Structure 1
Amino acid sequence: MAEHRNSNSKTGKASGAASAYAINLDNFSKRLKMLYSHWSEHNNDLWGASDVLAIATPPPSEDLRYLKSLALNVWLVGYQFPDTIMVFMKKQIHFLCSQKKASLLEVLKKSAKEVVGAEVVMHVKAKNDDGTALMDSIFRAVRAQSKLDGHDTPVVGYIAREAPEGNLLETWDEKLKNANFQLNDITNGFSDLFAVKDNAEITNVKKAAYLTSSVMKHFVVPKLEKVIDEEKKVSHSSLMDDTEKVILEPAKVKVKLKADNVDICYPPIFQSGGEFDLKPSASSNDENLYYDSTSVIICAIGSRYNSYCSNVARTFLIDANAMQSKAYEVLLKAHDAAISALKPGNKASVAYQAAFSIVEKDAPELAANLTKSAGTGIGLEFRESGLSLNGKNDRVLKAGMIFNVSLGFQNLQTETKNPKTQKFSVLLADTVIVSENFPEVVTSISSKAVKDVAYSFNEDEEEEEEERPKVKAEISGAEAVSSKATLRSVSQETSKEELRRQHQAELARQKNEETARRLAGGGSGMGDNRGGMKSTGELIAYKNVNDLPPPRDLMIQVDQKNESVLLPICGSMVPFHVATVKSVSSQQDTNRTCYIRIIFNVPGTPFNPHDSNTLKFQGSIYVKEVSFRSKDPRHISEVVQLIKTLRRQVASRESEKAERATLVTQEKLQLSGAKFKPIRLSDLWIRPPFGGRGRKLTGALEAHANGFRYSTSRPDERVDVMYGNVKHAFFQPAEKEMITLLHFHLHNHIMVGNKKTKDVQFYIEVMDVVQTLGGGKRSAYDPDEIEEEQSE
């Protein structure tokens, strides 16, 4: 992907005491042994039958680069050593570098001798020296070893794809090619060596993936929703810059990773408006985010932790048409199939073949638009050569391999007159670890389910659809009251979920008919489950005319205390309860004239066919819609916002009241007395979380005589779980996970805040990472910073 950014990767270009950079000798010993064993075992097929491995690391660069030489530096010694030449022989290891780097590498001598029997030889280059004499010394050692092995011409392995940079490497490259050595490319050897990650590497990838998916879930998605909700004009490049800043400051999304260890894999990618590129080299242009009806938005972000990469990509659908919905659902199924195929013993090609077979079966017309690969290996490099998940790769998968599973449909055509939505693409990507039992998706925090990525926010069109058959009964009350600028998820799930919803819809229909019969007979009852605004009784704005607030120049007023909107009609202020308002919108023309349009719930309106209040007055005449014109756009905007806010508050309250009415009465919690101190777990989070605004707080879970009590420092945030109501209890320790949790599945629903639920989780995050709270970043080579990093 894009190639410009200054990396935060640690380098060996130290100032001050060399001992501040402590190389992990255990890691060095283990991995040096792996290198020599792999080299010996696969010398002919992967290492070019080489006698010597010559690795030249280029000087520092502001460009974001993925080079095998840099990867070897980090993998072997934990740091990047720019402008350094490493030569591995059977009995010797040569380093050609500056004095400061040499002083750092001195500690490797003993370990190298003990592990592989190789002597470490330092060639210290003076500042003004071109290194020619030192290179000649290395070449003499190479020839001497070759003669001992009985070879006339030494076979030297090097990384052919890396062009020399800087004076030192250019001189080395020229002398190497003129030294009468046989030069063979060893790129495949390093690719195979880096393919299987050890536990330390997997931990780094998991931390990077946790950051990546957290940024997508807690920053990118809310940011996009806010932009669309408020109809702002924001460019793709601006979204890219904002997202990059959040990645580089993990504390902004409450991820406890040190910012100095974090970097981006590539500049975040945002695409919309018909211009899509699913290649890894794509970039965000300066066009504004396009989110009109049937538009598609693609977001891809990648972050690195300790130089190890992770990636996630999501596609968001806005008022999707049938073709777009089908394309995404087929892609989702194919993506999951590709992930499921990543098992030890399978060939890499199986993943793409599994995805392609799903597409051929469910949507053969889309097969030609499927990407030619299902992803690549990922680790120290964003794209590991030799680990492409295409249909021809016969590489056998092993536990410990990590893949960026990326799959998409490119340049699909849809029937629409809008040029910005005629052509669209869809893309999904996740970071997946191959394990012995099943593939582990480490970016799963960011949901890709249809209900979480498909949005609908065009309410006005619903008025034109009144003549259509009754809408699906599964549409919830919260969706029915959504205005044009209010996002809501499209309800599309698997077949089992659809059957459940159909059953729920039938039950709701029966209940509505029963309620209608009761109301027609003069009794009182509850509002319809499908109503746009659930009401538990008659709507009374004011008991008498004297309660109306004094008029203000016949202007539209919003009375929040009495939950009413007062409209000037024929010279008088006429009150309407906010529950009668279906939607409100405003529009401004070129003459700075503003129009406000208010649509009311009336009998026969979709989403509200059996409203308890309208059923009582079937013969009455209802106002369906009113429009007002004004020269004061500020006042109109304020009125629209107040009405929307008031409607949401009333809808939320009535919905919560209706849900509480259906709860099974629980026994009262018996608190432990002074003699028996309850068992207490502190600093726990709860799922589902409490609603409301403000900073989220941890709480404590206490075990009392007949139940648990979870509470935070806020008096209104408290949940009681009775022992008798617990159907199943689960404990999940933090094994290959970042949280330890307790999960209770209940017999009967309870309320957590304003949410009705049968499942409650209490969890604590368990991560061996440290967050510096001391303010801004310090120098890259600050001794205190280095000490903190090593202690981590």
Structure 2
Amino acid sequence: MWLIHSMMMRKKRNLPKVKAEANGTESLYSKATLRSDNHEISKEELRRQHQAELARQKTEETVRRLAGGGSVTGDNRNSTKTSSELIAYKTVNDLPPPREMMIQVDQKNEAILLPIYGSMVPFHVATVKTVSSQQDTNRNCYIRIIFNVPGTPFSPHDANSLKNQGSIYLKEVSFRSKDPRHISEVVQLIKTLRRNVVARESERAERATLVTQEKLVLAGNKFRPIRLTDVWIRPTFGGRARKMPGSLEAHTNGFRYSTSRQDERVDLMYGNIKHAFFQPAEKEMITLLHFHLHNHIMVGNKKTKDVQFYTEVMDVVQTLGGGKRSAYDPDEIEEEQRERDRKNKINMGFQNFVNRVNDLWGQPQFKVLDLEFDQPLRELGFHGVPYKASAFIVPTSSCLVELIETPCLVVTLSEIEIVNLERVGLGQKNFDMAIVFKDFKRDVLRIDSIPSTSLDGIKEWLDTTDLKYYESRLNLNWRPILKTITDDPQRFIEDGGWEFLNLEGSDSDSENSEESDQGYEPSDAEPDSESEDEDSDSASLVESEDDEEEDSEDESEEEKGKTWEELEREASNADRENGDESDSEEERRKKMKVFGKSRAGPSSAAPKRAKRR
């Protein structure tokens, strides 16, 4: 009790001192803390004011775009591609002469001939879904062929199914043979032919969607092309042959990359380049040039919008000794020096190529393209997970990029509508970034697991680049949100646009914060008078002290022992009731002493304990 009382009194005595320190009259440490807090608050307030202005501008811009039916429609991504009907033989006369009633594979016409009811029936290999073989205990081999049938789950958008709805299709056939070698050969031929046809048709379908590019104009004798040698390309060319480095040349209206093989060549037109980046090797293993394009092109058999040319600045070295080498080892020092020289040489070669190309793009005929090599700002970079693996994401003057890991990330800042920082809160080690594009039909880009230490830097960078950002405690499901906006743009505009993400501007939060700042107030005290609060607190403390003293006195009186006369009278009455009057006087005294000690022992110690308490 006395411990609680002393702590309360000590807190009461320290109250004026704390108030004095809060007013900045006694403690120099508190003054310095307040100065730093005021500085941070003013910086945060400036950023908040700028974000409020950006929110107003963004709302007006979104209203104009939605009212005009801008990028809400987006691309028609649901359009189906109609593939051309594949025909193996145009007439019956084109069929090969029947040799035997056995399964045959016609690689020239890309067909398989199956013996059905005594006739050889042709099927184009593209109609085959799967082919397999198995062998039973009687050494009989079976081949099973499953065909693509319109209306089944694996071909719901087959264009031919609408034309031939009344036709009857063969779904599955099985054949038995006693020659396992022939069966395995047929299965291998069908699989190889089918794989080649599917790859060719998919490449043809992708090429059909490409935008036609202009022809490359090679540099003449007067203009020598700018060349960068011994570079590799990503994505790589198809095929199983050994990869080879090539050279990148800048011609009159575009770049050409080529290797010693005739079929490995890529042309990049200047008019198709949207962004160009040069990233020298600092902490990375490669130095690269990256081109982000307006329209897709084909690199080998791959359709891509990002083409990269790079050179490894460090060779893979394997130490044969296997042990640790000293930092003062001359061989180790010489090896590190060679690596630095190689890295500097490669970076300098790329830099010279970039400078000469920038000079070329500075000519009047290329002014309308507004092309220039951009370089990432490493000091503004942060770690995050844009796809599946963690990467170092770096801003540039016009983009947010990650160019080392594949697939590469290139986000144009002018295409961003807003940025929502999610899972931001106390105790969180990381947070997420959701990038919403102006094209609401485009999927929201997520960068997950960003360290919380990068939060202030990202806010400062977003505010500097005039990008509106919001904060939320939880992750949002953006697909239904964007669908709601696209379905009813007028309702979105009337509800205030993106301000539903502004948690700081809500009235409930502000009221809760004001109530939390007021603290606890007694019901019988006026909140405006501080003196009355202090008097009531002191009065309550005095009353509590009086109540404690009265309680202690009552407890001490109750715990006091009985007198010797009362004890002797009780002992004699007990003896009389028990019939022990025949006992001698001396025995009765002994019993009384023993009984009295047992009764008086604890009672005599009770007042002392009460006093100590």
TM interval, short-chain normalised: 0.3 to 0.5
Q: Computing the radius of gyration over CA atoms, which structure comes out larger, 1 or 2?
A: 2
Q: TM-score, normalised by structure 1?
A: 0.31
Higher helix content, 1 or 2: 2
